[in-house]
Structure 1
């Protein structure tokens, strides 16, 4: 070994922690070797310890100086200082000169320590096999000539976490990772990539890839796109429990009864007589459901709600006759035919014609049919005494707004044609309630569909930017049962999804807001600058791959720099992620207030 690369020797060994004394003449920033200027040792760099024929590789975690007293009888006292390195064993070079992670042997005192040569550095940072598809995302910090190459298999067949404060480069890293995948030349058409975009950052044409389907959902108007879901979703009581914030003991059982009626009517017709019959059979309770009845008629036949309210102005219950009674005309409605003819005549007087034919429910939009059945079932059960209005009415009132919002952002079909492999769902124009619901519904349906696919036939990759918005366990805006259900769905995906070919990538500014179960179950991490103590504690607790020195670096990482750690690497590595071209960057850049404020 050339003595130029010899920089010191081992002076202390405690487990895998080793101390190295640096020779005084080697305390320089650069060394000249074979006509090349190479970087000398520094914190974060790697060294080689020669123990006989074994070459042990260690990383420098810290350094300090140690004062050494030098006393002899012929001269005055002189103090000298030695530079001491704290290094940690990472692995060793095998007989074929391949780097092997893990402690094979520990050094001995007085073993020589060397700076790594260029070919040795390449072997240490080689985390992939020969001819294996890889992506390169940036330069390794401290070794700027080396790009970090990550195995596509080890990275994308895993759950990924990308964390960092605003402005740390988190969005650029997320875009860079998937941009490199889509540029790799592999055929990813057998997979589905579904990106939930909270801030409209990934909708531009050149971001990620040009060939993608973008859904711009909007709960505030009817001009937005609609995300397609199977019609079967509408027949799930859990779906409606989520949408309508239904309580478990009263409202959810009612919804299950509504869905039974929905399944009955969806293959039949809905008749005007259906509404009149239930009114005629329960005249004593009619005054309590006048408003609800007019609401049902309006939903079936359209028109003005005020006009329908006038239909029943003169109808009341006659207690002696035990039937409905028209006080203006003195008419008793002893038969359903009399009541039906009267109401039809009143509707015709209001200018509504040809509305009494039975409605073929197969031709109705599924949401419209559900809305009709929901309100009809409400009237029916109130008249029959099957449910308590105080329990059901709050949910019925919520349904008006919620069903309208759902109709603006989702559409339900019997068959969904194969969509493009890469889909971006932008929910920046959705209200807060729907921002929590829509990602859950879309991801759950995609995951359920993936579970039904033959194993190995396709894969699903869920990508959630700003994941703390829907994966938080500290939210106070929702009921405990709804929050538990939301977290349970995503926790099932992250625990069980891998065996079904479903993988999730989450990016967030606040890892401490995300369920600890989700953070701890991730396989690969890209950790940018984090300064909040709660976030740092979450990383320390959840990311077992990080040593103390790497943890201490997290608050001082520069923009774009991150610590990569996980199953795709043998050990944590600091990387300066390449910045994407302006056209390919997510739209997450801060506005220029100086330009904004110029006179």
Structure 2
């Protein structure tokens, strides 16, 4: 038996007005051991239309006056509420959407808290619970399969509880599905603030933690050589211009591939032979040769090159010992080749140094043949040397990396800002490309990759002015490709940010499900309004006033938007982002 509290008095479009009976204004009602919530804003009411129960949400209430004819001066006040239909119940099962509308005088009844849980949750289907409904305090079981089979957005101002929500989602997932996830899925957290490097989500012993440090270089991210020796990657790392510097880098890589079986020492020897056996000597080639001698740490060769003079008028090289270097090659064969054969050893050179060396050798060869001008290419070499110096402490190039762990946390807390811009791109590209190649011919995919980016506005912003436009375009294009095309390969993004308006609108519009904490900036609210089709007006109006830990949950995995209060994690499992307790910090010592 239901508790009747009112009746329909008006139906206008999808707006329904109810008259509430005088004795139906209690806050909470217990009936036959079942708890019901009274009639108030954002509560749920059922309207009986035959054998159908139309479920409505209370959106407003007001008092109406009624003059009594018997007593001219007497006024009776009638409580009325406006409700909006959100679905209907048939055979004790809820269906979302407006299909039936009531008629005048249809009765309105309260809905039990258990039925509210069925409306919003997945009672009896899953036990995946991370919190309770804010008003009803009813635990809600979320459809975990539909949540993690989608791109997620967790947004909220600093201190609103978004880090706890992110950690709670994945902590609950691993608590319930740990054994099933092994060998089938990989989770990668790009952690800008070092919040997940201890026992968060999984115990530290059960996950791989890589703490990158721009200065000390203790831990390093292992990147495949095939991904590093890539013209797009190098062009972006070194901010190469499209028309001159990028084709130069392409020649460097094509030469490496074409002569991969030729020792690097022989390549050095061949370039020096071109420089000092040409019929028309180039002064820039001499300067580059001296720089190459310094790079390969060959003091005898460096000392010899210092004695070579370039004669501008007749364009030839001559050493102080009267040795000429011309097209007959005798000067090179007698003076330079023996020094290279005896003193140059490049067997132990790392791949970073090899890249810079190959760039200088290629430029030296291009200058001799007239393929490039020194002043056009030199800027990209300067940037390359600077970038390699920064990357050397955080990257290690390997041919075949070890198998990835189930959960890999990569902390960028100790990295410089320039590294924080570069590394997430390389990391995401590395994991995405490998997974894409492994799943390319499989439909549906047999494994999944979940990229979790905390403070995502750091790398997905369109507003940044500290980087080259080419770099920014490619960075956004990569993540836009992942969020657009990743689903078919089983790649999913989880983005957490305190400034969603800074993130590319293309990326935000492709997110399927949202956990939205308190946001007060008008640009952030406008972005959500323009990109989230499932966010209703009332839920949006609550966002600026949400309490800490509360969030609006909406998206394709949920029939209706709902307000959840996320359960707080224990201190040892919470992300390292707690507020400072100033009362404790500034407390005077007890005498």
Q: Same fold (TM over 0.5)?
A: yes
- Tell me which of 339, 343, 358 is aligned to 1:355: 343
Distance in 1, matches of 2:514 and 2:315, equals: 73
1:82 deviates by 2.5
Distance in 1, matches of 2:78 and 2:285, equals: 91
Worse-superposed segment, 24-33 or 229-238: 24-33
Matched residue count: 578
35 and 443 in structure 1: CA distance in 2 versus 1, 3 angstrom threshold: closer
Q: Deviations over 1:50-78 (max 9, x none)?
A: 11221111111222x23314052x53323
1:409 deviates by 1.6
Distance in 1, matches of 2:156 and 2:213, equals: 28
- Tell me which of 323, 343, 352 is aligned to 1:367: 352
Distance in 1, matches of 2:367 and 2:520, equals: 57
Contact 1:262 1:370 in 2 (8 A): no
1:6 deviates by 1.7
- Tell me which of 277, 281, 287 is aligned to 2:283: 287
Matched, 1:178 2:163: no
1:548 deviates by 0.6
The DSSP-based 3-state class of the residue aligned with 2:98 is: coil
The DSSP-based 3-state class of the residue aligned with 1:28 is: coil
445 and 285 in structure 1: CA distance in 2 versus 1, 3 angstrom threshold: same
Matched, 1:438 2:423: yes
1:297 deviates by 1.9
Matched, 1:313 2:320: no
Aligned to 2:64: 67
Contact 2:170 2:201 in 1 (8 A): no
Matches within 5 A, 1:327-346: 327=320, 329-334=321-326, 336-339=329-332, 341-343=334-336
Distance in 1, matches of 2:200 and 2:165, equals: 16
Aligned to 1:466: 455
5+ residue gaps, structure 1:
none
Matched, 1:194 2:188: yes
- Tell me which of 213, 220, 229 is aligned to 2:208: 213
25 and 265 in structure 1: CA distance in 2 versus 1, 3 angstrom threshold: same
Q: Deviations over 1:557-590 (max 9, x none)?
A: 0000001111221101110000000000011113
Normalising by structure 1, report the TM-score.
Answer: 0.91
Aligned to 2:74: 78
Matched, 1:525 2:518: no
Q: Deviations over 1:350-374 (max 9, x none)?
A: xxx95235x45xx643322222101
The DSSP-based 3-state class of the residue aligned with 1:518 is: helix
Aligned to 2:480: 491
Distance in 1, matches of 2:231 and 2:127, equals: 44
The DSSP-based 3-state class of the residue aligned with 1:24 is: coil
Aligned to 1:30: 28
Matched, 1:151 2:143: yes
Distance in 1, matches of 2:313 and 2:28, equals: 108
Distance in 1, matches of 2:170 and 2:364, equals: 52
Matched, 1:565 2:554: yes
Matched, 1:544 2:533: yes
Contact 2:57 2:85 in 1 (8 A): yes
Q: Deviations over 1:524-550 (max 9, x none)?
A: 110100000000111111111111110
Matched, 1:231 2:246: no
118 and 147 in structure 1: CA distance in 2 versus 1, 3 angstrom threshold: closer
1:109 deviates by 1.6
Normalising by structure 2, report the TM-score.
Answer: 0.92
1:139 deviates by 0.9
1:203 deviates by 0.9
Distance in 2, matches of 1:187 and 1:424, equals: 20
